[in-house]
């Protein structure tokens, strides 16, 4: 079955990514064509095919295709293509190439059949997404990219320990449902959850994603967290602990988003919130719940992409990224506002939008599994989603106080991308059977019953009433909200001190050793070799090589 | 400010029309134990949102900082 190896959907993306770096012209055509080829490969790849790659004594399961991986890969590529159309005006070539690499590694993770292949793509994803953040090249992006990498390197290490433990205990690295009764499964779970944005390190999502460029945030929002959801679905379905974790994430996302001022950070907090719903679904673990999780991931990627595109358009056209700086844009950017509102309605699960047909499956599953308390929390969550993403985002950006900003809708390709995703949101909402037919389990769920529509409308409209009644207290201020990253950010000097210590020690050592050489070299060491970014990159490369050697030796 | 007034007026109209939706509601087919009470969803949604806003405000008192907090 080696022939299937050449049908791996990540392959054209890797080729395209390299090609862009080499030719540096016609980058948009290359990226879109490679995504389309990858799409064709996905359709050609038979579901249920397994392809092993024999490497000396090792047997690497590079491709393990299931209905679930088909679903995830499909939505990854849809967002990839539409996102690439959206980012046609982006000039940074490195961003375009790295985004393809990032998508390729995410696709690699979801097709991997054992933990070794998964780990290699997992680390590739961490590094490429960091480079995507760095490619926006603003000083704040550099710093938050470092923090992002730090979190993901630690997460990767925890996962590696878990995988090595699993190998030494069972000699079986196939991806399968794990029970939390061995020490190594805890490590695997922690490593995976960290990428999903679970507590206590949920803040990396809102810390780093908004620092990407206006176009790269669209891609960043989709892949890392959702691959984590995918892997959790195939390894920890039915682990009750995840229900608690998910509920925490739902509440965390809402509360922090309500306090936030940065437009894209509000949307990033709502990623944590939405992934929380999916984690609860995984924790419940019934067929209905897993179907709900899969379809919610599918619809979420589309409407979140749409929301971030409309936020990206605002940033692209006005250069402003804070709620306090914008307002009243519906007059000058009518199409962006309409698409943003459609996305906001979809995320709040209004009837006739895609959120309505997916989220309610998780709610119903929680009820059938006799978790009434969980159901109530999810209901609070649903009302809260409308509060922070459904109304707050469009209200403060497109309405509220008119700041009289002279601008217009974005250029044609950006509009096309937004309209396509808006269409998908509504299409899936009206014809859910298209999505239901590709779900991993047979699905008999009917979303459009009179009771469901009525109760959802009641819930949402009265949440809206609560928002407008307390509008005075929700007035945006020029503030940020502290989070767990306070521990390792420069205010507490924790890491900075450490870095400084390393800097001092090494440069003192260097002074002794290099003093006989010219002064120039000393400055070179201090300025270039020892700055934080270089250290982080070097750490990554060393770690990656180390991990690969370790994995090939076991 | 005019848009805000318009939105609030239309919201008042919409909310006052909401109870009539119960015409379509089939109490024989309820799925969950609590939702046979008339007005469960609207009241629950309203209170849940107010509570979330209050909790967020309370947390904000302790955790909000100037947005230049990390910039030095």
CA distance A297 to A282: 12
- Say what the pLDDT of residue B1 is: 58
Place of tokens 């299937």: A4
- Judge if A280 and A425 occupy the same domain: yes
Contacts of residue A266 in chain B, CB cutoff 8 Å?
A: none
Place of tokens 């998964």: A118
**Which secondary structure element, helix H or strand E, spans residue A254, and what is its range?**
helix A241-259
| Mean of pLDDT values over A152-158 | 88
- Say what the pLDDT of residue B16 is: 74
Of the candidates A259, A375, A462, the beta carbon closest to that of B45 is on: A462
* Domain contains A306: yes
**Which secondary structure element, helix H or strand E, spans residue B24, and what is its range?**
none
- CA distances B66 to A80, A268, A427, A494, Å, are 36, 20, 43, 21
Tell if the CB–CB gap between B21 and A458 is shorter than 8 Å: yes
* Domain contains A518: yes
- Say what the pLDDT of residue A400 is: 80
| Mean of pLDDT values over A83-100 | 88
* Domain contains A478: yes
Tell me the angle at which helices A216-235 and A93-111 cross, rounded to the nearest 10 degrees. 10
Mapped onto helix, strand or coil, the DSSP state of residue A345 is helix
Contacts of residue A371 in chain B, CB cutoff 8 Å?
A: none
Instruction: Using the predicted structure, report yes or no on whether residue A538 has a pLDDT greater than 70.
Output: no
Q: Domain locations in chain B? A: 2-63
- Judge if A481 and A521 occupy the same domain: no
Tell if the CB–CB gap between B48 and A261 is shorter than 8 Å: no
Most confident of A3-12, A292-301, A364-373: A292-301
- Work out how many domains chain A is built from and give that number: 2
* Domain limit, last residue, from A489, A506, A528: A489
Q: Which residue of B has its CA nearest to A392?
A: B53
CA distance A106 to A126: 10
Q: Among the listed ranges A66-80, A480-494, A505-519, which one has the minimum average pLDDT value?
A: A505-519
CA distance A123 to A342: 35
Instruction: Using the predicted structure, report yes or no on whether residue A492 has a pLDDT greater than 50.
Output: no
Compute the nearest-CA separation of B39 from chain A (Å). Answer: 8
Please state the length of chain B. Answer: 72
* Domain contains A300: yes
Contacts of residue A466 in chain B, CB cutoff 8 Å?
A: 45-46, 49-50, 53
* Residues A397 and A327 sit within 8 Å (Cβ to Cβ): yes
Instruction: Using the predicted structure, report yes or no on whether residue A493 has a pLDDT greater than 60.
Output: no
A272, exposed or middle or buried, with CB in 10 Å at 0-12, 13-18, 19+? buried
Higher pLDDT, A293 or A25: A293
- Say what the pLDDT of residue A281 is: 93
Tell if the CB–CB gap between B21 and A470 is shorter than 8 Å: no
Q: Among the listed ranges A18-32, A379-393, B16-30, which one has the minimum average pLDDT value?
A: B16-30
* Average pLDDT for chain A: 84
Instruction: Using the predicted structure, report yes or no on whether residue B22 has a pLDDT greater than 60.
Output: yes
Tell if the CB–CB gap between B41 and A375 is shorter than 8 Å: no
Compute the nearest-CA separation of A145 from chain B (Å). Answer: 15
- Judge if A473 and A549 occupy the same domain: no
Tell if the CB–CB gap between A364 and B8 is shorter than 8 Å: no
Tell if the CB–CB gap between A463 and B21 is shorter than 8 Å: no
Which two structure tokens, joined as six digits, stand for A53? 């790659």
* Residues A10 and A41 sit within 8 Å (Cβ to Cβ): no
* Domain contains A189: no
- Say what the pLDDT of residue A54 is: 63
Instruction: Using the predicted structure, report yes or no on whether residue A467 has a pLDDT greater than 70.
Output: yes
Q: Say which residues have a Cβ less than 8 Å from residue A414's Cβ, sequence separation at least 6.
A: A86, A88, A89, A309, A312, A313, A316
Mapped onto helix, strand or coil, the DSSP state of residue A523 is helix
Instruction: Say how far residue A453 (Cα) sits from the centre of its chain.
Output: 30
* Residues A384 and A455 sit within 8 Å (Cβ to Cβ): no
- Judge if A431 and A516 occupy the same domain: no
Tell if the CB–CB gap between B42 and A453 is shorter than 8 Å: no
Tell if the CB–CB gap between B57 and A372 is shorter than 8 Å: no
- Say what the pLDDT of residue A253 is: 92
- Say what the pLDDT of residue A249 is: 92
| Mean of pLDDT values over A231-255 | 91
- Judge if A515 and A483 occupy the same domain: no
pLDDT in tens, A313-346: 999 988 888 888 888 888 888 899 999 999 999 9
Tell if the CB–CB gap between A383 and B44 is shorter than 8 Å: yes
- Say what the pLDDT of residue A233 is: 92
Task: For CA atoms A476, A477, A479, A482, give the dihedral sign.
Answer: negative
| Mean of pLDDT values over A141-146 | 82
Percent of chain A with pLDDT over 70: 86
- Say what the pLDDT of residue A465 is: 85
Number of H helices, E strands in chain B: 2, 1
- Judge if A522 and A387 occupy the same domain: no
Instruction: Using the predicted structure, report yes or no on whether residue A528 has a pLDDT greater than 70.
Output: no
| Mean of pLDDT values over A108-127 | 90
* Residues A456 and A386 sit within 8 Å (Cβ to Cβ): no
- Judge if A417 and A529 occupy the same domain: no
Compute the nearest-CA separation of B65 from chain A (Å). Answer: 5
pLDDT in tens, B47-57: 999 899 989 88
CA distance A44 to A39: 9
* Residues A250 and A377 sit within 8 Å (Cβ to Cβ): yes
Compute the nearest-CA separation of B31 from chain A (Å). Answer: 9
DSSP string, A137-187: --HHHHHHHHHHHHHHHHHHHHHHHHHHHHHHHHS--B-----TTSHHHHH
Candidates A270, A349, A362, A466: best to mutate against B (most CBs of B within 10 A) is: A466
- Judge if A406 and A495 occupy the same domain: no
* Domain limit, last residue, from A489, A523, A541: A489
- Judge if A531 and A417 occupy the same domain: no
- Residue A135: pLDDT band (50, 70, 90) is confident
Which two structure tokens, joined as six digits, stand for A23? 């030719």
| Mean of pLDDT values over A374-385 | 90
- Say what the pLDDT of residue A421 is: 93
The structure's pTM equals 0.86
Please state the length of chain A. Answer: 554
Instruction: Using the predicted structure, report yes or no on whether residue A272 has a pLDDT greater than 90.
Output: yes
Tell if the CB–CB gap between A482 and B65 is shorter than 8 Å: yes
Tell if the CB–CB gap between B21 and A457 is shorter than 8 Å: yes
DSSP one-letter code for A488: G
Instruction: Using the predicted structure, report yes or no on whether residue B41 has a pLDDT greater than 80.
Output: yes
Q: Say which residues have a Cβ less than 8 Å from residue A377's Cβ, sequence separation at least 6.
A: A247, A250, A251
Percent of chain B with pLDDT over 70: 75
Instruction: Using the predicted structure, report yes or no on whether residue A553 has a pLDDT greater than 80.
Output: no
Contacts of residue A451 in chain B, CB cutoff 8 Å?
A: 25-26, 29-31
A48: left (phi over 0), alpha (psi -120 to 50) or beta: left
Tell if the CB–CB gap between B49 and A473 is shorter than 8 Å: no
Place of tokens 């095919």: A49
- Judge if A437 and A530 occupy the same domain: no
- Residue A527: pLDDT band (50, 70, 90) is low
Tell if the CB–CB gap between A491 and B26 is shorter than 8 Å: no
Q: Among the listed ranges A494-508, A527-541, B42-56, which one has the minimum average pLDDT value?
A: A527-541
Q: Which residue of B has its CA nearest to A250?
A: B52
- Judge if A340 and A404 occupy the same domain: yes
Give the number of A-B residue pairs with CB atoms closer than 8 Å: 144
Q: Which residue of B has its CA nearest to A261?
A: B67
Of the candidates B4, B46, B66, the beta carbon closest to that of A463 is on: B46
| Mean of pLDDT values over A79-84 | 93
* Domain contains A90: no
- Residue A24: pLDDT band (50, 70, 90) is confident
Higher pLDDT, A217 or B24: A217
Torsion of CA B42, B46, B51, B56, to 10 degrees: 130
Cis peptide before A184 (omega within 30 of 0): no
* Domain limit, last residue, from A440, A457, A489: A489
* Domain contains A89: no
Contacts of residue B36 in chain A, CB cutoff 8 Å?
A: none
Q: Say which residues have a Cβ less than 8 Å from residue A460's Cβ, sequence separation at least 6.
A: A348, A349, A350, A383, A386, A390, B45
- Residue A551: pLDDT band (50, 70, 90) is low
Mapped onto helix, strand or coil, the DSSP state of residue A322 is strand
- Judge if A539 and A457 occupy the same domain: no
What residue numbers bound the domain in which A506 lies? Answer: 490-553
- Say what the pLDDT of residue A57 is: 62
CA distance A309 to A504: 44
* Domain contains A183: no
CA distance A166 to A185: 7
DSSP one-letter code for B65: E
Please list the helix, strand and coil fractions of chain A in percent, rounded to the nearest 5, in that order: 75, 5, 20
Cis peptide before A200 (omega within 30 of 0): yes
* Residues A113 and A61 sit within 8 Å (Cβ to Cβ): yes
Contacts of residue A464 in chain B, CB cutoff 8 Å?
A: 11
Tell if the CB–CB gap between B50 and A470 is shorter than 8 Å: yes
Contacts of residue B9 in chain A, CB cutoff 8 Å?
A: none
């Amino acid at each position: 079955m080696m022939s299937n190896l050449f049908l791996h959907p990540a392959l054209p993306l890797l080729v395209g990514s390299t090609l862009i770096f080499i030719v540096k012209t016609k980058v948009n055509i290359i990226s879109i064509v490679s995504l389309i080829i990858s799409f064709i490969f996905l359709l050609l790849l038979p579901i249920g095919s397994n392809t092993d790659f024999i490497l000396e004594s090792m047997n690497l399961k590079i491709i393990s295709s299931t209905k679930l991986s088909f679903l995830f890969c499909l939505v990854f590529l849809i967002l990839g293509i539409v996102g690439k159309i959206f980012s046609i005006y982006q000039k940074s070539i490195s961003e375009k190439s790295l985004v393809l690499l990032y998508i390729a590694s995410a696709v690699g993770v979801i097709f991997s059949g054992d933990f070794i292949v998964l780990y290699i793509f997992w680390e590739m994803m961490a590094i490429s997404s960091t480079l995507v953040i760095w490619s926006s090249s603003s000083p704040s992006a550099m710093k938050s990219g470092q923090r992002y990498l730090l979190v993901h390197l630690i997460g990767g290490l925890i996962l590696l320990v878990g995988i090595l433990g699993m190998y030494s205990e069972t000699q079986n690295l196939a991806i399968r449902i794990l029970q939390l009764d061995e020490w190594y499964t805890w490590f695997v779970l922690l490593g995976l959850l960290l990428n999903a944005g679970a507590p206590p390190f949920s803040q990396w999502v809102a810390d780093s994603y908004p620092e990407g460029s206006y176009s790269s945030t669209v891609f960043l929002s989709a892949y890392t967290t959702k691959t984590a959801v995918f892997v959790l679905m195939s390894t920890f379905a039915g682990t009750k602990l995840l229900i608690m974790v998910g509920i925490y994430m739902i509440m965390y996302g809402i509360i922090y988003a309500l306090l936030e001022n940065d437009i894209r950070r509000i949307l990033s907090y709502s990623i944590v919130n939405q992934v929380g719903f999916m984690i609860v679904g995984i924790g419940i673990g019934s067929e209905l719940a897993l179907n709900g999780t899969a379809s919610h991931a599918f619809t979420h990627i589309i409407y979140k992409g749409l929301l971030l595109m409309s936020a990206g358009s605002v940033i692209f056209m006005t250069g402003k990224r804070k709620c306090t700086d914008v307002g009243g844009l519906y007059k000058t950017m009518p199409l962006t506002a309409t698409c943003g509102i459609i996305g906001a309605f979809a995320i709040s699960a209004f009837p006739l939008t895609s959120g309505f047909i997916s989220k309610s499956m998780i709610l119903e599953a929680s009820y059938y599994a006799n978790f009434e308390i969980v159901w109530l929390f999810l209901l609070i969550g649903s009302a809260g989603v409308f509060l922070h993403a459904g109304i707050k985002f469009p209200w403060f950006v497109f309405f509220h106080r008119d700041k009289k900003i002279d601008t217009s809708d974005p250029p044609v390709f950006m509009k096309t991308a937004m309209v396509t995703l808006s269409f998908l949101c509504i299409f899936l909402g009206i014809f859910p059977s298209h999505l239901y037919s590709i779900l991993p389990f047979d699905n008999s769920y009917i979303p459009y019953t009179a009771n469901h529509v009525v109760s959802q409308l009641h819930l949402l409209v009265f949440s809206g009433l609560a928002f407008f009644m307390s509008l005075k207290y929700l007035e945006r201020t020029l503030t940020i909200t502290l989070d767990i990253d306070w521990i390792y950010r420069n205010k507490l000097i924790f890491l900075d001190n450490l870095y400084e210590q390393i800097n001092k020690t090494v440069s003192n050592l260097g002074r002794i050793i290099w003093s006989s050489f010219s002064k120039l070299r000393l400055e070179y060491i201090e300025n270039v070799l020892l700055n934080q970014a270089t250290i982080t990159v070097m750490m990554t490369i060393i770690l990656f090589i180390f991990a690969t050697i370790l994995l090939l030796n076991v | 400010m005019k848009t805000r007034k318009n939105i609030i007026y239309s919201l008042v109209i919409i909310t006052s029309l909401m109870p009539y939706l119960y015409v379509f509601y089939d109490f024989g087919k309820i799925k969950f134990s609590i939702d046979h009470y008339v007005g469960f969803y609207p009241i629950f949604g309203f209170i849940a949102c107010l509570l979330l806003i209050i909790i967020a405000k309370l947390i904000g008192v302790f955790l909000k900082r100037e947005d230049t907090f990390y910039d030095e």
